[in-house]
């Protein structure tokens, strides 16, 4: 089932896009949890981590990692460090069922996460 992220991909609703390729979109989170909070998503609809097939989606996931590294460099958080998070399902607090990787940085983070 399509989510609000499909509307962002199709430019039906606005987002603050920081990176786009044929397969990937990255935009600022509307409710940022850190000075830098970007969502990196595939353009195809994969609801959640458990729907990933390693062989089928390997290059897509690699592109998401390349995008994260590029954005982190562009936003000057690569050297100090950052966090990449996939929330999967209810216990992790996943709200939007379109696969997304959170890129969080620009402040010191705690561990373990809440």
Residues that bind ligand AMP (CB under 6 A): 4, 15, 27, 29-31, 39, 87, 93-96
Does residue 37 carry a catalytic annotation?
Answer: no
113 forms bridges with which residues in the sheet?
none
Q: Which residue carries 């990255």 as its tokens? A: 26
Q: Which is nearer to ligand AMP, 55 or 86 (CB)?
A: 86
Give me the catalytic one of 37, 57, 98, 100.
Answer: 100
How many Å apart are CA 12 and CA 3, to the nearest integer?
12
Q: Which is nearer to ligand AMP, 55 or 91 (CB)?
A: 91
Q: Assign 60 to helix, strand or coil.
A: helix
Shortest spacing between CB 61 and ligand AMP, in angstroms: 17
Phi, then psi, of 61 in degrees rounded to 5: -65, -35
Active site residues: 100
């Amino acid at each position: 089932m399509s989510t609000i992220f499909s509307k962002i991909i199709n430019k039906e609703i606005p987002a603050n896009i920081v990176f786009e390729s044929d397969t990937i979109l990255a935009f600022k989170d509307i409710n940022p949890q850190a000075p830098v909070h970007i969502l990196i998503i595939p353009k195809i609809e994969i609801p959640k981590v458990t729907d990933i097939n390693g062989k089928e989606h390997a290059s897509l996931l690699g592109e998401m990692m390349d995008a994260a590294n590029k954005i982190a460099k562009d936003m000057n958080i690569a050297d100090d460090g950052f966090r990449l998070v996939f929330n999967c399902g209810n216990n992790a607090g996943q709200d939007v069922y379109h696969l997304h990787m959170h890129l969080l940085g620009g402040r010191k983070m705690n561990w373990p996460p809440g």
